[in-house]
Chain A
Amino acid sequence: MAEVKEKNAPAVEFGKEERKLITDPINDNNPITVQILGICSALAVTTLMNKALVMAIAVTAVTALSNMVTSALRNAIPKQVRMIVQLVIVATLVTIVELTLKALNYPIYKDLSVFIGLIITNCIVMGRLEAYAMANRPWRSFLDGIGNGLGYGVILIIVAFIRELFGKGSVFNFKVIGPNAEYLINTASSPLLSWYTNNNLMVLFPSAMFVIGIVIWAHRAWNKKLVDIS
């Protein structure tokens, strides 16, 4: 698991602090591109935007709620068995999320297959429990969970957008660019675009890596203080 930065900023003003809890993980302390947490699921579910969106919501819900529950129980959990206690809390919440999703949208549930279950071992959840919820109050931990879930969701949506658009020519299953009349931009009919085909590599494993690598590159080039100097 990656090293997690502890936020020790003194509480200057309550409202401002709270807002920072939400915005910080979206940019400076993004779980995926900076903390290197939760990569596994981020890569696997990003072939379609629908899947990525559902996954982002599920992870945000689990992170926020498990942060809150763990934080409420933090003084009652013995240090030696805290891993198991946290895992049981997370596993319970994930079971609830899984059953809810199964009831609401079965096709997406089938698509996501094991990756819903793998939220249990999603390092974002465990990482935030260890780094934040065990030392802070429930409300703040809840906000921290929401913030990290959003930070994760933003990257997921960006990667899924690139992969779905170039891999399948669609956005949220709405056909945008492709070689026949079903698509909004029909590449077969226009002479200027006839060279364009959807690239199947984008939905395969390696492209997820390349796209995230490039997203990280862009993020660090834009936000210079994140550059790895080691």
Chain B
Amino acid sequence: MGELANIFIKSAFIENLALSYFLGMCSFLAVSKSVKTAFGLGLAVIFVQGITIPVNWFINYIILSENGIFGTDLTFLRFILFISVIAAMVQLVEMVVEKYSPSLYNSLGIFLPLITVNCAILGGSLFMVSKEYNFSQSLSFGLGGGFGWFLAIVAIAAIREKMRYSNVPPALRGLGMAFILTGMMGMAFMSLMGIDLTSFGK
């Protein structure tokens, strides 16, 4: 339990996908103009991340690895399968959300399909492989990574909303300022380094 909590905290705060691995930066910068849309996208990312990482874990270890059901090393198919799983999952999530919660579907709007090309999702799956997590660890990593990304995008959106009333040099307005703000947030998150919950719950 302590180990899983540790992975969650680590992937959410210390190894934040957006603020220390630069993943999902494109949508991070493009969609962070208002808190409301940022909130919706962040939720969608947690959701998709929490589903695709365990599914991709399953694919990587049960189907593609040498000890898997085919008995041969198929890891060269990893990218194609991972991205197809992500695209299919996003489609599936979209259909489920549309059927059971039309209000959430409307508020997420175009952000759901956009998630397919959010590098945070594919990056999460690839990190899961390179860190050699087991199933429950990868679930915790997926949820934690999604949560960290959610926190980061909501925070930057709030700052950018306030920034609109500030007197920024013309050439720095918009994108340039967003980069510098993100850098400062990254510095703030770096101060969380060193949190260790391994002994938690023991």
Q: Hey, which bits of chain A sit against chain B, CB under 8 A? A: 1-3, 33, 36-41, 43-44, 83-84, 87-88, 91-92, 94-95, 98-99, 113-114, 117-118, 120-123, 126, 204-210, 212-214, 216-218, 220-221, 227-230
Which residues of the partner chain A approach B20 to less than 8 Å between Cβ atoms? 205
Interface pair B22/A39, CB less than 8 Å apart: yes
**Could you tell me if B21 and A44 are in contact, using CB atoms closer than 8 angstroms?**
yes
Q: Answer whether residue B165 sits at the interface, using C-beta atoms and an 8 A cutoff.
A: no
Residues of A within 8 Å of B175, CB to CB, are 33, 36, 216, 228
Q: Is the CB of A118 within 8 A of B187?
A: no
Stretch binding the partner chain, chosen from B63-71, B77-85, B135-143: B77-85
A205 to B186 Cα, complex, angstroms: 7
Q: Contacting A87 at CB < 8 Å: which of B19, B84, B170?
A: B84
Whether A228 and B116, one on each chain, are in contact in the complex, defined by CB atoms closer than 8 angstroms, is no
B122 interfacial contact with A, CB 8 Å: yes
A-B contact pairs, 17 of them (CB 8 A): A36-B29, A36-B30, A39-B25, A84-B84, A87-B83, A88-B83, A91-B83, A121-B116, A121-B119, A123-B117, A206-B186, A206-B187, A209-B179, A216-B175, A217-B169, A217-B171, A228-B173
Identify B171's interface contact among A2, A84, A99, A227, CB under 8 A.
Answer: A227
Please indicate the chain B residues that have their CB under 8 angstroms from the CB of A209 in the complex: 179-180, 182-183, 186
Query: Which residues of chain B are near A212, meaning CB under 8 Å?
Result: 179
Specify the chain B residue showing the minimal Cβ separation from A205.
Answer: B186
* A37: B residues at CB distance < 8 A: 26
Contact check, A88 vs B84: say whether CB atoms are below 8 A apart.
yes
A120/B179 contact (C-beta < 8 A), A36-B26, A114-B123, A206-B184 known: no
Q: Contacts A114-B130, A208-B183, A227-B170; is A84 near B26 (CB within 8 Å)?
A: no
The verdict on B93 contacting chain A, using a C-beta distance below 8 Å, is no
Tell me, yes or no, whether B159 is within 8 Å of chain A by CB.
no
Find the B residue at minimum CB distance from A224.
B171
10 A-B pairs closest in CB distance: A209-B183, A228-B174, A213-B179, A39-B25, A220-B171, A43-B22, A114-B126, A206-B183, A221-B171, A213-B180
CB–CB B119/A40 < 8 A: yes
Choice from B27, B127, B186 contacting A114 with Cβ under 8 Å? B127
B26 A123 Cβ-Cβ under 8 A: yes
Decide: A40 near B25, CB < 8 A? Known: A88-B84, A95-B76, A206-B187. yes
Least Cβ–Cβ distance between B152 and chain A, in angstroms: 12
